[in-house]
Amino acid sequence: MRGVNSVAIQTMKNAILSLVAAGVALLTPATAFADDHTEAEKPKWSLAIHGGAGTILPENITPEQRAAYEAALQEALDAGTEILASGGSAMDAVKAAIIPMEDNPLFNAGRGAVYTWEGENELDASIMDGRDRSAGAVTGVKTVRNPILLADTVRTDSPHVFLMGEGAEQFADEQGFEVTPPEWFATESRRQSLERMKARELSALDVDLKFGTVGAVALDQDGNLAAGTSTGGMTGKRWGRIGDAPVIGAGTYADNRACAVSATGWGEYFIRVGVAHEICARLRWDQAIRRASYADPSVPAEELEKFEGLLKMRSQLHADSVMAEVKELGGDGGVIVVTPYGETIFSFNTAGMYRGRANSDGLNEVAIFGGEEAGASDTPDH
């Protein structure tokens, strides 16, 4: 699993008692949730994206396929980066990054979505604003080109959070969304996957060696977080099956006090663990300590530096430990995370995850296989 090594874990254990003691002392009512974004080295904005996780091995991808995926990820990353670099909102950046992936048949979202057992493309999406934890989600829609936009419209223009099927499409029509015909979403490779599944009595995992769900998480220059996720589900899904992608708290979550998360993987397990919310819940305490530390002028600079390094390690460890729970239950997949201080975190228990990240410090990279990011120290656990 992509994460901290044993030395870092031991370092964390040695420091955790002093951290908690100092944190409790700092967390007075006046400073516990201060919105302080003035500390040095904090990026003005940060963005991470994913395009699915799974059995993604170098030997199974041709150079041409790898180049196509890297170009698609870079296009999505650039779209979100343009919004954030110009001072736009995290919410707009998340939508801007997801739309190109929904339109690209390489991914399992929008165009290129997998087929249900009945031979249809059913789409799910969710989005969440970390400022006020407003959220919108849709599931089982068949006529909306970009489900992430419909999910956001549910968030902003309805009294509800989650709409499904015909009701979601009726709402889309009332809000002025154009009806997209089924042939826009259809691709031959996805149809063949369904046919192989039926002919050989395979499971969805036997025909889908990767989970092509797409997502994005962002921090904007105002210090606000947002997360969004979009998917076509699993090949051959039946009985109105719903995965984690449209479920707030499972596949998507954002809270300015903690983090923003988007997930991809075997949805049943992500729902059972409540992956996205669980990660944010674990990070929330650490971020409160962090804010209080920066708000207290009596804390020495060297102590702030120790806090910073330790809390960065703990953020990765929190994500890794939640993904370890998913694996223990039998599930595969991964998450992308961004914190209120701009760190971008990848954690996946599979061989690879299509992913990318960028920030205002100049970081801009895309990756597919384990350990490819700058500074990566170990490989995925698979």
Residues marked active site are found at: 213
β-strand pairing of 333-338 with 259-265: antiparallel
Using CA atoms, how far apart are residues 373 and 344, in angstroms rounded to an integer? 11
Q: Strand pairing partners for 137?
A: 126, 162
Q: Strand pairing partners for 12?
A: none
Mapped onto helix, strand or coil, the DSSP state of residue 149 is helix
Q: Strand pairing partners for 261?
A: 253, 337
Inter-residue long-range contacts of 201-207, CB under 8 Å, 24+ positions, other chains counted: 204/234, 204/235, 204/236, 204/237, 205/266, 207/235, 207/236
CB 356 within 8 A of CB 338: no
For residue 184, the tally of other CB atoms under 10 A from its CB is 12
CB 233 within 8 A of CB 139: no
| Burial of 128 per CB tally in 10 Å (0-12, 13-18, 19+) | buried
CB 346 within 8 A of CB 376: no
For residue 280, the tally of other CB atoms under 10 A from its CB is 27
Using CA atoms, how far apart are residues 58 and 53, in angstroms rounded to an integer? 14
SS (H, E, C) 272-288: HHCHHHHHHHHHHHHHH
